[in-house]
Amino acid sequence: MNQNQNQQKIQNPETQIQKTPQMNERDFINDMLTTEKYMTEAYTTALHEFSHDALFQDVLSIYNETANAHRNVYNLMFKKGWYAVEAAQPQKLQQSYQQFQGYSNQFPYGNQVQ
């Protein structure tokens, strides 16, 4: 059994949709999810560049709405079984934790992790 087969998928039972050349509900929702991802990334980049406080606050509000919409679309896809995530192996989590814990000595203010 290779590593991909050994990974446990976390997902709900998939809602079946007839495969046709036309876009179906899953296609539309997946397109919405992708759009929301790109929008939140673009707003994040813009927020890093603003020097005008009022403009920053307006775009931050729009960013928050977009991020919430993204999460709602993700939750809908997950609920319908159209979005699966892989369970993390406990030993891989521990390895990652140890790797990045070693980086804490490079923080400019000591080992303060917040």
Where do the structural domains in the chain lie, given as residue ranges? 40-81
Most confident of 78-82, 96-100, 109-113: 78-82
pLDDT tens by residue, 4-53: 445 688 877 888 888 888 999 999 999 999 999 999 999 999 999 999 99
pLDDT for res 112: 55
Q: What pLDDT does residue 2 have?
A: 45
Q: Taking the complete model, does pTM exceed 0.85, yes or no?
A: no
pLDDT by residue (tens digit) across 70-88?
999 999 999 999 988 888 8
Handedness of CA 79, 85, 89, 94 (dihedral sign): negative
